[in-house]
Structure 1
Amino acid sequence: MTDVSDIRTVVVTGGASGIGEACAERFAAGGWRVIIGDINTGRGEAVAERLRNAGGDCRFLDVDVADDDAVASFTAAVHADGARVDALVNSGGILQNAVRVTDLDMAEFDRLWAVNVRGTMVVNQAFGRRMVAAGQGSIVNMCSLTSFRASPQVGYAPGKAALKSMTESLAAELGPSGVRVNAVAPGYTLTPAMQARIDSGDRDPKAVIDQTALRRFVEPREVGEVVFFLCSDAASAVSGTTIPIDCGWLAYSGYAAYASQPE
């Protein structure tokens, strides 16, 4: 019988859909034990069952990252059977449509920061303590292109910039204990949430595609591949980085905005 402490385990918050779901799929395919945490119980249970049916070792636990007590209970449940968490993927988060600063609903601003920023910090604290005690671990936070460039998402974008800074601070602080901390910054990714915004008219797909070097959206599975790499032994010397996964949006948008273009 295999001791659960010998199995490589990843915790994926926000793993019930979108990028988090794609990350859970990639780790399961790689033979990891996957624990999905999400506020969407029905969807999370369905994803976990699908991965188990495909031969993966996966279970779902309910968690609201904006609730400190819920995060504490979630962390305790994850470790209840003696499992060591080797990797944490912070994919739990919410989106925002474009809005002018003067029209911003501060309740929405507070909710964005409570989930995306404070929630990520609380989860990092809870699992980071355990990783430090174990002398090993890898954390991946979920940044965005707005970690590098301004956008009219005036609650969401500053929060994602804060997550980049948080990632660097955590990498510096936890590194001496053997814990690596990185982030990914997905570009326009064709998640169900993005598709819903396209369908509602809140996103113009042509405007996105025209500003990417590869002329397409990022696929969730492509983000999952980079996250998996960052948590693998192949990235053992990588810490404190934020990696854009954007089909060349950062490069092309600056290039195309130059005052003159080659003939």
Structure 2
Amino acid sequence: MIKSDGRTAVVTGGASGIGEAVLRRFAEAGWRTISADIDAKRGVPIVDEITRAGADSLFIRVDMAEEKEITALAERFGAVDALINSAGLLQNAVRVLDMDIAEFDRIQAVNVRGTLLAARHFGKAMCARGSGSIVNLCSLTGIRPSAQPAYAMGKASLDMLTQILAAELGPHGVRVNAVAPGYTLTPAMQARIDSGARDPKRVTDNSALGRFVAPREVADAILFLCSDMAAAITGVTLPIDCGWLATSAYKSYAAQP
């Protein structure tokens, strides 16, 4: 049995990838976890497994492109202790001139608008109580250009949203931060590697630590940002990239020893 510490976290996108890792990590730490995801087929078994391990966890099917579903989620659970906005759609490489605008609209609706709405609804309840923590999932694609226009532009928007919310909600005792994972070895990434869509050597060769980020490592950082140890931290986007940003820039510069 996992000892509960009385705190509750809502994790959007908890049915896969980093969201799943976050859900499991918070449950291990004694938090009650709410997994909000559109994929019930995968999300329910994950929550069942967490529950069998002795933690308090619940799955709620939510389409992050639908405001009424986000509103219902927030009204049901109110002022939770933490909201982790992990839900999002990926995008394959494409040029702006060739991109399907319908794809752009769908990604923006889920990744940006969905995150904004969740932060608004849960943030209001947190402000009324006077405490809470929100963590958004950004990306290195919001810091460096990537041939994923809709996805990258969305993540850059979330970086700014994080700073704006930190300034607005901070006076009410609510902290808002973000993480920017680098190349993370999620099942989706592994599938891309296996299909030949990603070259793992190009990633590891440009990483200071010479490896991919593990989903658990991103979850650890998010747990820290939601903990009392990060009580003075708000408005930041923390890269978790095994040193990819530093190394890729270092190697691209003309002068190297």
TM-score under structure 2 normalisation? Answer: 0.96
1:158, CA displacement in angstroms?
Answer: 0.9
Which residue number in structure 2 is paired with residue 159 of structure 1? 154
Asked whether 1:178 is paired with 2:185, we answer: no
Letter in 1 for 2:6: I
Partner of 1:12: 11
1:93 aligns with 2:88: yes
Residues in 2 aligned to 1:155 and 1:59: alpha-carbon distance in whole angstroms: 31
CA distance in 2, matches of 1:32, 1:13: 15
Percent identity reads 61
Letter paired with 1:190: L
1:200 Cα offset (Å):
2.0
Offset at residue 78 of structure 1 (A):
2.5
Structure-1-length-normalised TM-score? 0.94
Q: Which residue of 2 aligns with 1:220?
A: 215
Alignment correspondent of 2:130: 135
Q: What is the number of equivalent residue pairs in this alignment?
A: 254
Aligned partners of 2:142, 2:136: CA distance in 1, in Å? 12
For 1:138-149, what aligned pairs fall within 5 Å after superposition?
Answer: 138-149=133-144
In structure 2, distance between residues paired with 1:133 and 1:78: 14
| Superposition deviation, residue 102 in structure 1 | 1.1
SS at match of 2:90: coil
Q: Give 1:207's aligned amino acid.
A: R
> Counterpart of 2:109?
114
Say whether residues 1:21 and 2:5 are aligned partners: no
Which runs of no fewer than 5 residues in structure 1 stay unpaired?
Answer: none
Q: What is the aligned partner in structure 2 of residue 190 from structure 1?
A: 185
- 1: distance between equivalents of 2:85 and 2:164? 16
Q: CA deviation at 1:184?
A: 0.2
TM-aligned CA deviation for residue 259 of structure 1:
0.3
Q: Is the 1:117–1:162 Cα contact (8 Å) retained in structure 2? A: yes
Q: Is the 8 A contact 1:35 1:78 kept in 2?
A: no
Q: Distance in 2 between matches of 1:187 and 1:137?
A: 26
Q: Which residue of 2 aligns with 1:36?
A: 35
Measured in 2, the distance between the counterparts of 1:26 and 1:48 equals 12
Aligned to 2:228: 233
**For the Cα contact (< 8 Å) 1:35–1:58, is it kept in 2?**
yes
| Greater alpha carbon shift after TM alignment, 193-202 vs 155-164 | 193-202
Whether 2:249 is the aligned partner of 1:259: answer no
Question: Structure 1: how far apart are the matches of 2:168 and 2:192?
Answer: 38
Give the superposition deviation at 1:43: 1.0
Residues 31-65 of structure 1: CA deviation (Å, up to 9, x unaligned)? 11111100001211111111111111111111011
Q: Does 1:73 align with 2:72?
A: yes
What amino acid maps onto 1:242 in structure 2?
Answer: T
Following the alignment from structure 1 to structure 2, what is the Cα–Cα distance between the partners of residues 191 and 78? 29
1:75 Cα deviation from its structure 2 partner: 1.7
Query: 1:259 aligns to what SS in structure 2?
Result: coil
Letter in 1 for 2:53: A
Aligned partner letter, 1:64 = D
Gaps of 5+ in 2: none
SS of alignment partner, residue 102 of structure 1: coil
Q: Which of 205, 209, 218 is matched with 2:204 structurally?
A: 209
Residue identity opposite 1:210 in structure 2: D
Residue 76 of structure 1, CA deviation: 2.3
